[in-house]
Amino acid sequence: MEKHVNRRTLMKGAAGVAAAAAAVKASPVYAVPTIIQDTSSDAKIVYWGSFTDANGVAEQGVVDQFNEAGLGVQVEYQFQGNYEETAQKLTAAVAARQTPDVSLLSDVWWFRFYLNSLLAPLDDLIQANEVDRSDYVDSLLNEGVRDGVTYWMPMARSTPLFYYNVDAFNEVGLTEAPGNWSDLVAVAPDLVKMDGDTMTRSAFAHPSAGSYIAWLFQCVTWQYNGRYSDEEFNILIDEPEAVAAGEFYRASVADGWASTIEVLRTDFINGLTASMLASTGDLGAINNEATFEFKTAFLPEAETFGCCTGGAGLAILADKSEEQQAAAFEFIEFATSPAITSYWAQNTGYMPVRKSAVEDEGMIAFFEENPNFKTAVDQLALTEPQDSARVFIPNGDQIIGGGLERITISGEDAQSAFDDVAAILEEEKVPVLEALEALDA
């Protein structure tokens, strides 16, 4: 009990210091909040992370500050690659019985490890540490809950945003983001720049399957009143509404105003596209690197509005001892605390996962100075949980993304591509349903 009292005293002090530090931009990466330092340590855990560039610096900053806080635990941070690479290495580590104590897992990947009973339930740890569940943003916390049990705590949580080059839009008379896709289509030809037969600037850009086109397009599907699937795993991507969204994407390229690229953020920063849908988590890097004015906005509508959540959270491996799980949760509690989620949000663009952080005076001041960072927080109230076909069917993201590449890159009609995607998803959902049935038995 004494350790928990000491930790909470430290965290209370950290929150005030961090809130003050977070409001000041001292460098391209915001200063890490200073926390009372104590070098004592009686437990060591391994944390696997997935971020690079500005986000990687911030992730290392979270770990460094935890280690400096003297909470009785020391974290060894090990970068494992992107979300997919981290999950693949974790799969291999499970087989080799050499797992980390706590791992970052994306919205797509955590559920697969849950299905195989590889993640520790966290509710007893939440209760033992007197963590206020009600202070977490409800929609972000609830996505890591299955059958009333928490397995995945929100950390790097995002929504897609509409990013646009202000100067480019002003050139064609647009002073704000399009409220509807039809508004963008109307001026798209004027946003395009050509050098002979080479497009030097597109009006809009689509990513590849590997860069999460299926995550972004999911929102567009909803905007056309379609779905990839329902929560009962009924596959709907080949229905007319989703096909209509697919045809919109196909036409955007066929009509010559949208490009297909590998890394959206790079092309946007380099002025090769005037707009894009991209993650909240890209905002920190774009803010640091863009040499022009840009803004973020809610996603455009079609028939209606549609937007999902995304990103990653933290999970503890079930094969760890009670002592190691308790130590790992110390890090999770710290990394998702109001002070640290504020630091993380201001450095990366990801949303604060704690309500008190969003409402903190320092965060409010930061949002006033940096309104692009507030867009996702404001949009969050309009978001929905993702379709089961993408996040719960193994490789669902890449299966759908492959179909979208056939549409955007190869110019194939959406019905044909989505018919094939639906057939694959129908087959791949069977073991998921069987696993869920077994867990419920």
Smallest Cα–Cα separation from 188: which of 198, 175, 178? Answer: 178
Reported as type and span, the H/E element at residue 45 is strand 41-49
Q: What is the dihedral of CA 358, 310, 240, 427, to 10 degrees?
A: -150
Q: What is the pLDDT of residue 261?
A: 87
pLDDT at residue 253 is higher than 80: yes
- What's residue 383's pLDDT? 96
Question: Would you state the pLDDT for residue 441?
Answer: 72
User: What is the Cα–Cα distance from 430 to 434, expressed in whole angstroms?
Assistant: 6
- The pLDDT score that the predictor gives to residue 263 is 83
Q: Report CA-CA distances (Å) from 402 to 88, 208, 412.
A: 19, 8, 12
User: Residue 300: which pLDDT band, with cuts at 50, 70 and 90?
Assistant: very high
| Residue count (the chain) | 441
The amino acid at residue 206 is H
Mind listing the domains of the chain with CATH numbers?
2-151+310-373 (3.40.190.10), 160-309+383-440 (3.40.190.10)
Question: What's the confidence (pLDDT) of residue 234?
Answer: 97
Identify the pLDDT of residue 3.
Answer: 32
For 37-86, the pLDDT digits (tens) are: 344 447 999 999 999 999 999 999 999 999 999 999 999 999 999 999 99
**What's the whole-number average pLDDT of the chain?**
90
32-41, 284-293, 355-364, 398-407: which range is least confident on average? Answer: 32-41
Judge contact between 181 and 251, C-beta under 8 A. Answer: no
Report d(CA 234, CA 36) in Å as an integer. 52
Give the torsion through C-alpha atoms of 124, 125, 129, 135, to 10 deg: -90
Among 106, 52, 60, residue whose Cα is nearest residue 83 = 106
